[in-house]
Amino acid sequence: MYRFFLILLFGVISVFTSRTFAQNETFTSTHLWQMKRLAAVEVSPDGKQAVFTLTSYNIDEDKGTTDIFLMDIQTGDQRQITFTGKESNPVFSPDGKNIAFISRRHDGPAQIYLLSLNGGEAQKITDLPVGVYSIKWFPDGKQIAFGANVLPEYEGDFAKLKTMIDEKKKLKVTAKTTENAMFRYWDRWLTDGYYSRLFVVELATKKVTDLMPLTNNYFNMMGGVSFDISPDGKRIAVSMNNTQPPYEELNEDVFLLQTDGSGKMINLTEDNKASDTNPVFSPDGKNILYGKQTISHFYADKVQMVVYDLQRSSARSITEKIDLSCEGWQWSADGKTIYFGAELNACNAIFSIPFTGGKHNTIFTSGTNSNLLVLNPNSLLFTHNNLNKPTDIYAIQTDGKTLRQLTDVNKELLAKLNFGRVENITYKGANDADIQMFAIYPPDFDPSKKYPLVVMIHGGPHGTFGDNWHYRWNAHLFAAPGYVVITPNFHGSTSFGQDFAISIHGEHAFKPFEDIMKATDYMLARGFIDENRLAAAGGSYGGYMVTWIAGHTDRFAALVNHAGVYDHQLQFASDHAGNREYQYGGTPWKDFDVLHKNNPSQFAHNFKSPMMIMHGELDYRVPVAHAFLIYGIYKGMGLDARLVYFPDENHWILKPQNSIFWYKELHDWFERYLK
């Protein structure tokens, strides 16, 4: 049993663990993959229990296993309730007696299973030739809705669909054809003819009904679906892309779908040309709460919460005048209050607001908080992590008092590790603006000595290196060999207001570069940084900025460019090129000079600093040709460069052994030039 009461530290990094064992091990990438990863938290209807998944990795076998755990929220007692290592998405039945979940335990496509909390084996509910996802109970407990991707020509006949799938597998032709502007996304091709739909399965008969037989589109391009079922079970509110081929743009809208299988639905947000997402019915079913953006070409445009009155067919934003981008909203049981999360000053905070709008209240601001759930009228459940600690489950009163930690899934491992301290810093950047960053110190840091400095540069550019535990770019792991690490949240970063985020549109390079240089100067002025041992590392946009740095200064002894943009023209081969004109200020056919003003490829003649280039073949967001191009140029110029190429990874390095190898290459590169 785990049960913890915590003291909060505001304005500085929150350390949510009390270390009671000797810390004598240096943090390594192997430790990172030995950590258990908690996710998919759901609360029982009576608010007394919670379920969650826990993923553990076997490094030797290079794979993870995921099982479901049941927890008593009052005591923190937990027990494992599945044991196959192939489960996900657990959800309580409306009466709290059963849990539905998705599993691959039968070694086929993921299907729905039902487990009684009174004991016994899990029962398989669906048996489809395609995998299912995003399950949700109907309020009467007799049906479960879910998403699946199908070939529309199957016409509701799953036997026919299986035959079609088998025939596709037998084809020897490997060509892919398209006339769409968007034809692949992230790491998958969109030319296979599959489209997303919602279905419902009756538990008594196991009959499956296609709720969207008239629809051929995508819910969203990253997979999954966001939907909610009305309290009377007659309608589903679902967010779905509303643009048609050739998909020159994407625009999610909120649709109201009948659950009778007719496929009838209406678009509630057709007038808004930017995205509308994550609809949630009010407890009385009279309103739908959803998120609205207003700038279609700005993916980091702030998300407003909108209440749609179904009786009046009218919508009103309740956060239009609040400079926060909202997420994870939940209704209170009486429908009078909305709880939500939002980025704030490099953290993910928790807030509340009356459903009528007005003044919002801050509940909890430290670290990174998500999976927000309402326990009862006075308390909330959520997951929390920070720079010093991976994700666990917490509860807090709605007035922000009495924070309780309910799980501590990595307690024993964390107790053995030696982390350096973390400092929250604000300094003056471009245009004399306040720029926030964290400084992560190596273990046993001594300010009387000189240390190498590693500048970590986040991607996006509209993102944040915040107070969170990161498995791919872990700041403590960067610092562990003896480096001081900083994470400047330069102009363009989110969590510091809309104006700050959009301030670099059309000129991606200038202000962020100045912010990063001034962050480096700030640390040098403190006296414990060796000016001859500086390094910069970044991924995606961070890799773009590393390449920009290479063309504009030689002050860094080593550079690391992971999946970075090198040539703006080449980014028109990325998976989603529709908004590049707004981001870059030009295109290869229009405003060519503006495009190249911020293009790192135009400054190759200035390259001097050694660079390691790391990239995955399946990266369609930043095509791998960027890596080969800059590596070839470096080698052609006779400069120090190293290429680390992963044929089976995408924009992220996700496999345990590949990740461990990635960190080894990173540390070896730094060792070569910083020691």
CATH value at residue 535: 3.40.50.1820
Is the pLDDT at 227 greater than 80? The verdict is yes
Contact between 296 and 250 under an 8 Å Cβ cutoff? The reply is no
Q: Is residue 543 in a domain? A: yes
Contact between 328 and 226 under an 8 Å Cβ cutoff? The reply is no
Q: Is residue 157 in a domain? A: no
Which helix (H) or strand (E) segment is 474 a member of? none
Long-range contacts (CB closer than 8 Å, 24 or more residues apart) made by 429-432: 429/488, 429/490, 429/491, 429/511, 429/514, 429/515, 429/518, 429/519, 430/491, 430/510, 430/511, 430/512, 430/514, 430/515, 430/518, 431/511
The proportion of the chain whose per-residue pLDDT surpasses 90, expressed as a percent, equals: 93
Q: What pLDDT is attached to residue 281?
A: 98
pLDDT in tens, 602-651: 999 999 999 999 999 999 999 999 999 999 999 999 999 999 999 999 99
Is the pLDDT at 300 greater than 60? The verdict is yes
Q: Is residue 282 in a domain? A: no
Contact between 281 and 287 under an 8 Å Cβ cutoff? The reply is yes
* Neighbouring residues of 625: CB distance < 8 A, sequence distance ≥ 6: 570, 573
Q: Is residue 633 in a domain? A: yes
Q: Is residue 530 in a domain? A: yes
Is the pLDDT at 336 greater than 90? The verdict is yes
Is the pLDDT at 410 greater than 50? The verdict is yes
Distance CA 559, CA 568 (A): 20
How far, rounded to the nearest angstrom, does the alpha carbon of residue 160 sit from its chain's CA centroid?
36
Beta strand 25-26 with 451-457: parallel, antiparallel or unpaired?
unpaired
Is the pLDDT at 428 greater than 70? The verdict is yes
**What's the structural domain count of the chain?**
1
Contact between 475 and 468 under an 8 Å Cβ cutoff? The reply is no
Beta bridge partners of 38: 54
What pTM was estimated for this model as a whole?
A: 0.94
Is the pLDDT at 8 greater than 90? The verdict is no
Q: What pLDDT is attached to residue 23?
A: 55
Distance CA 38, CA 380 (A): 18
Distance CA 277, CA 241 (A): 10
Which amino acid is located at 185 in the chain? Y
Contact between 256 and 268 under an 8 Å Cβ cutoff? The reply is yes
Q: Is residue 563 in a domain? A: yes
Kindly calculate the radius of gyration of the chain based on its CA atoms and give it in whole angstroms: 25
Q: What pLDDT is attached to residue 19?
A: 41
The mean predicted confidence, pLDDT, of the chain is: 95
What are the backbone angles phi and psi of residue 643, rounded to the nearest 5°? -105, 130
Q: Is residue 347 in a domain? A: no
Scan for tokens 């989110």, then name that residue: 494
Q: What pLDDT is attached to residue 579?
A: 85
Is the pLDDT at 262 greater than 80? The verdict is yes
C-alpha distances out from residue 535 to 160, 373, 458, 558, Å: 58, 41, 14, 5
Nearest of 435, 583, 426, 579 to residue 497 by alpha carbon: 435
* Neighbouring residues of 632: CB distance < 8 A, sequence distance ≥ 6: none
Distance CA 514, CA 442 (A): 26
Contact between 23 and 47 under an 8 Å Cβ cutoff? The reply is no
- And the tokens for 132? 């299912």
pLDDT in tens, 464-476: 999 999 999 999 9
Which helix (H) or strand (E) segment is 446 a member of? none
pLDDT in tens, 72-130: 999 999 999 999 999 999 999 999 999 999 999 998 999 999 999 998 999 999 999 99
What interhelical angle do 510-524 and 541-550 show, nearest 10? 70
pLDDT bucket at 501, cuts 50 / 70 / 90: very high
* Neighbouring residues of 357: CB distance < 8 A, sequence distance ≥ 6: 316, 317, 318, 319
Beta strand 529-539 with 558-562: parallel, antiparallel or unpaired?
parallel
Quote the domain boundaries for residue 548. 418-674
- And the tokens for 66? 């995921």
Is the pLDDT at 419 greater than 90? The verdict is yes
Distance CA 675, CA 667 (A): 11
Is the pLDDT at 480 greater than 50? The verdict is yes
The proportion of the chain whose per-residue pLDDT surpasses 70, expressed as a percent, equals: 97
Q: Is residue 631 in a domain? A: yes
pLDDT bucket at 16, cuts 50 / 70 / 90: very low
